[in-house]
Amino acid sequence: MNAQEIHAKLKAQFGDAVGDLTEARIDPFVTVKSDKIVEICQFAKAEAGLEFDYCEDVTGIDWPARNQIEVVYHLFSLQQRHHIVLKVEADRSQPSVPSVEGVWKAANWLEREIYDMLGVSFVGHPDMRRILLPDDWVGHPLRKDYQEAGGYHGVSNTRPDPLVRLGGKVEAERKAIAAAAPPPVAAAPVPAAAAVPAPAPAPAPDKKESPNG
């Protein structure tokens, strides 16, 4: 089945809860109402012809401009070999979406990661806690307005810019070394047979003043 047919089937079953299939830029998706997502997913999994038994990915995108956080479901069917992308929009100030962990166990850890990174809480999830970050971390990093807390348990997460700090000192040292080095031996007294290596010493003094200085 292609995306249009899948969308048609979903629309036929759920009517207004299922939005329109967007045009393919590049992958088309369907926006559905968040309160119906669990039923839609159960239908998608159980219905003959759809059979979306594999939850490929559940992820989230932060859209501060629209004041929304999108939760994106990539579903796949191993039997029918077709994909569909569903999206649910959650209000950015209090994002909360029903959990589909009961439909596919794979969503368990995936939803925990969305909670951790974006702050979306999933209603009905058996183990809603952070997964990648420590439990007492402040903030949700993947949000566009995330500010780091300036440290964690006494470990600072800023450091002085090393180039700024060392800058002048390193250059001065290099110039001093270059000035103190003996001048290169002139290539004049070399015999004709060794004329070929003569150009070699010339570029050497240039290298002493490092290009990185």
Sites of contact with other proteins (CB under 8 A)? 25-27, 29, 53-57, 59, 61-62, 72, 74, 78, 81, 83, 85, 104-106, 108-110, 113, 117, 127, 129-136, 141-142, 152-153
SS3 state of residue 142: coil
Q: CA 37, CA 75: separation in Å to the nearest integer?
A: 13
Token code pair at residue 107:
């969503």
Strands 18-21 and 30-32 turn out to be antiparallel
Min separation Cβ 209 and other proteins, Å: 28
Categorise residue 177: left if φ over 0, alpha if ψ from -120 to 50, beta otherwise. Answer: alpha
Min separation Cβ 130 and other proteins, Å: 8
Smaller CB separation from other proteins, 14 or 54: 54
Smaller CB separation from other proteins, 33 or 74: 74
Token code pair at residue 33:
């109402």
Q: CA 64, CA 212: separation in Å to the nearest integer?
A: 41
Min separation Cβ 106 and other proteins, Å: 3
Q: CA 196, CA 33: separation in Å to the nearest integer?
A: 79
Smaller CB separation from other proteins, 6 or 85: 85
Min separation Cβ 1 and other proteins, Å: 16
Smaller CB separation from other proteins, 1 or 72: 72
The H or E element that residue 58 is part of is: strand 54-63
Smaller CB separation from other proteins, 72 or 190: 72
Min separation Cβ 122 and other proteins, Å: 15
